[in-house]
Structure 1
Amino acid sequence: MQYKSFVITVLTQLMLITLLGACSSSEEQQANYLNRAQEQYDADDSKKARLELRNVLQINPYNPQARYLLALIHAQDANWREVSKNLSLAIEYAPDFIDPRIKMGGLLFRYGPSADEKTLEQADAVLALDPDNADARALRAVVFQRQGEEADAISEAQLALDSVPGHVGASSVMVKVYTDQDAELALAYIDTSIEINPSDSVAKEVKLALLNRQDETAAAIALYNELIADDPENIVYYVRLLAYLSEKDRDDEADALLSSLAISPRDSIDFKIWLAQALNRKNLLDIAENTVKGFIIDYPEEYELRFALSRIYMTSDRTASNNVLREIIALDVDGADAQSARGAIAAFAWMLDNDRATAEAMANEMLVIEEGNHHALQLRAIFRLLDNNNIGAISDLRAVLKSNPTSVASLLMLGEAHTANNSMDLALDAYRSALELSPNDGTGVQKISQLLINQGNYTAAESILISHLEQFPANADAHVLLIESYILQQRWNDALTVTRELEKQDQQLARGVYLRGRVLYASKEYPAAITAFEEVLQLEPSAVEALSYLVNTMLVTGEVSGAEAYLLKHIEAYPQQVHPLELQGSVYLSSGDFDAAIESYRAALLIDPQRGSAQVALGRALQAKGDLLAALKAYDDGLQLWPKNVDLLTLKAGLLEALKRHQDAVDGYNAVLAINEDEVIASNNLAMLLIDYFPSEESFARAFQLTSKFEDTNIAVLLDTRGWLYYHMEDYVSAKRVLKRAVAADGDESIFRFHLGMAYYRLGDNTSAKIELEKSLANDAKFVGSDEASELVKKL
């Protein structure tokens, strides 16, 4: 290699100086450390080489040879910033030092055409020092070849070959120039280079590319095997050969290669792990299993081999896979590999089996051993979010981000946790941080855009979405969010423009047409919307969403018989789909055919007894028919399956109230509020029950707490409840204030006027009281208190 020559030269010079007695102890030390660094580098021990170079640079930070060798070490790790820095320093400290200039020229060439001039500057500087330098000539040649100056490229490459016959870089330029013009000449150049440099893999790589281009399959395979023979532990060549064989439909040869590797000795653990994975991917499971088991016997403490065996079992025997992971835990106990095994068991249990108990147990074990374990904290955060423990989830995610602030996944989850906690500004901060780290992350774009849309900040959302779609026009979810934003702003033409963009994508045609229908429906272009939804059903006949919108649009336009016909046809074609039966039930219910609706809902439940929405609809249909006891049984049947279903609990409580089972109704609403204290219907109905049927200071206090959030609403029924509570608490001034707002919001509701009339009466305003009470009794209205209103009107 070129860089060795400078070390030999420098060391020779230092030895001569030492022999002459002119060398200081500092120079001797630098030479010794540099010599040892070179030896370690040649032995592929970069870590020790770095330590020796550190000693050199502590003595003399301006040592150009140390800087150059350090650049070569950083190049092995592809740390190009450090490579560039150390090469620049080597050139600065020793302008006549040729090797770093050549290396710098090569690095600059990697940066693309914009760096061509700087690349040529380095080559020219070398040629000023050494006019016959083949590396510099080859560097100029590759630049000219990239710039399309083929004559100059050939001239420079030939000068390099004249100086160093078979020079790999110059030969490569000749191959590039002549590949299309004269394939035989191109092959001759690279063959000559390989003959002169038989161990140079770069030359063989160039020939391999040429053979691939010429579709010389047999010759390419032979050359792959030659590269493998030169470096049998290099995994890259096996990977590429296997991919090449697969590309050429020679899978039998690929299988044979893997099978032979399974019985051939290899010392590298990395090679063994790769082989296990490759055998697994090729579905040579028996060979993979036996091979890896053999590796484990030879290397029992190399746990990565056991992980590989676990992955082999994953697709065919999950229990065996978990058992191997548990072996790792038993052997490594509290170590990093045991923690990884626990994490794998937890992840597979949760993601593949929906087994929260096992996943949670593993996560907790991990946290006992290592309280800051990122994977366990993230998993626990998921569970806490599911349990509505948003604060706990936020705490876990902040702990992860404290030590790993660039975790995009944790930031996205933190945004969800803040959203669930109704901390929207904090959620936006989390999503923005995620986007700063990964601007093109589709999930992050969708999360922050959805939140901004929900807040009505359409401009910010659209800016993010449009920018993202410019780079990723196939992201259908981003299109959908942009359409949603336009619909909410009633920007119908803009929304339709975006749907057409989706329709241009073959995979998204039906979705685009469906969204076009949604836009037309929202803009009340009902005939066009019906046409769009019918078009979707022609493209995807089983599309339930399109069917649902089609039916609803037909109902809006009064085409009830058409909606029923579509549903009957669809149900006949897809008898196992549940939602069409629910739709059918709602159509029958809207036309007052309760028996037919009930039949449809029961048919849905026969297909899917676990479908909560159908159970709710069945209860409502029975209640609408007036069969209250049957409705109550339907709600109870549902609650046997879903004891915390808020819809079922609320409906049952309302039905109990209608049955005048007031205490049972109170208990029912309390059960709802125990699950979700913000449920408005339950809060309102419970408060009214307490006021009307359980009047007491304790009941009024509870009702006051339940209705405190109603003061700021404009919903008449909620204002009425609050006002009627003030009345019973004998705060008639507040009662009149709130009840007037209820009547203003809905003056046709008799009971609201009754309550306001009673407030006027208690305040001594008999005239206003009589007016409101008479209005409440109009059309012989009957309500709780109508008899009292009638008697009072007579008195007034």
Structure 2
Amino acid sequence: MRNLIINIFVLGLLIGCTTSKTVSEKLVIDNSYADSLNAFNKAADAFIKGNVLEMKGNFAEAIIEYQEALNIKESSGIHNALAKSYLAIDKLPKALEHSRRAVKLDSTNADYLMMLAEVYSDANLADSSSRVYEKIIGLDSTNYQAYFYLGQLYEAAKPRKALTIYERLLKETGPEWNVLLRVADLNERLGNVDKTISTVEDLLNLDPSNIQLQKLLIDSYIKSGKNEEALVLIDDIIPLFPDDISLIEYRGKALIEMKRWEEGSEEYIKLTKDKRIPFVSRVKIATAFLNEANKDSTLTPIAKKILKQIDADSTDWQIKAFLGEIAIKENDDSTALKYFKASAENAEWNVQVSERLGILLFDNQKYEMAIEEMGKAVVKFPNSFVVNIILGLSLAQQNRHEEAEIPLKKAIDINPTDLTGLHAYGYTLNQLKKNTEAIKYLERALILDGQNVQIMGTLGLIYESDKVFQKSDSLYLLALSIDSTNALILNNYAYSLSERDIELQKAKKMSQTALDKDPENSSYLDTYGWILYKLGDYTNAILYVQKAIDKESDNATLVDHLADIYFKMGDKKKAVELWRKALQLNGSLEKVKQKLAQESM
């Protein structure tokens, strides 16, 4: 109808301008006008068809009609319609071309400017889009839609500027739902918790039963430390939604923030029982409590309770490993071993679990179990330093030095500067009578740590066995200058002196000091008894060596010493009996064989 009125109006103007013309002139003008009117009607018809097709969603066909209209007569409206349809089918370059042309033809039309801003925005030309929105606002400061879109445009890169625009808009419009939602979201992102609370409270005034807003307000209360307010709101809502996961979590979180750990943990236990909660989320809950327990041991029972709840219906290796760590803290090594063994079985691919199990077994002196578990682990993790070192150390503790040599060598190949590895490997080589190699590795260790008394002691023993007494004595004395009360060094140096029958009083004094520090040690008892024997105090010598044998009855050297004392006292029968026993324990003792041979002659 509007087009018809315009056409009639134009026709009227044209007719009104013909009164002074001749008849022939009037005929020419009338024919020209008729052609123009016909073209206009064709353009209008094509435009209307395009508009109908556009409303039906047939944008490609609409574009054809709009283009036909444009070919007949160019207008800003047709360009804008083309821009809209091209945008709908993601033809951004064409949309931009026509939108720009529409604005060029009519630079103050708000609809055309809004379309251009939208095209720029979809083309990721945010700066261009924002300039257009600002122009619209400059033309009409009450164009609230332009304010809103400009705010949205700034949210990602310029959130504070977006907030300023939204706040200006709210001053003009009053509380408006969509704008308040954007403001609440921005304030939350920017950490403006108090402003978030204020905005959400305004939103709740508009929609007091909106559960999502209530949750946002609860979350904001907790973030700002207003845990009492959060609890009040939660306890008002939760009877209506007793199974709502987020409300349960918020309640637990608020209680925890208030240090009401027992009550808070009960809420989290509800979550760990809930099958809707992904397992990984349940593990996160347990981990959070475990971390707190690491800071405050009084919370360990709570962490344990949550972990056991998860473990009740899970075979997860991580939960079992966590429970194993708690058992270690509680000095319950048997339970710790149970959990770590189960964890290792459920996570055969996880080297750390196997390593933790190995360390635990070794620390608890369960060497056979350590050998078994690390023997399996070393096949899967041949380049694990921990697996190799624990396997080697455990074998060495069982005097299986030939087997220990391989994993210990592998360990120091992996970590050439590890003192434990170098020391253990050197000791094992010594036990295998490979003293030259042993000395090389032990001296390397001593270069790395020149104050390590244990390494000095082992190196001293090797030099002593090689009868390089000057070096062995120097090492013992150096070790004692660092740690004058080291029982092992005192014992070994004292025994070395007694074997050479020198400085026996000094040896006795050192041995006594070692024995005072560790009176149940069989080696220390034997050393002291042997020194007494060397000093001629046979009665007391027998007493101490016998005590040593009582503690370590399968040690052939101790039995040999006792035999020597009885022989010196004239009880040859007892001596022979003991020498034979020593050989039964260790058939490679050549000196004992010689003693028996002499007595049988």
TM range (shorter): 0.3 to 0.5
Output the TM-score relative to the length of structure 2: 0.43
Higher relative contact order (CA 8 A, sep 6+): 2
Structure of higher CA gyration radius? 2
Output the TM-score relative to the length of structure 1: 0.33
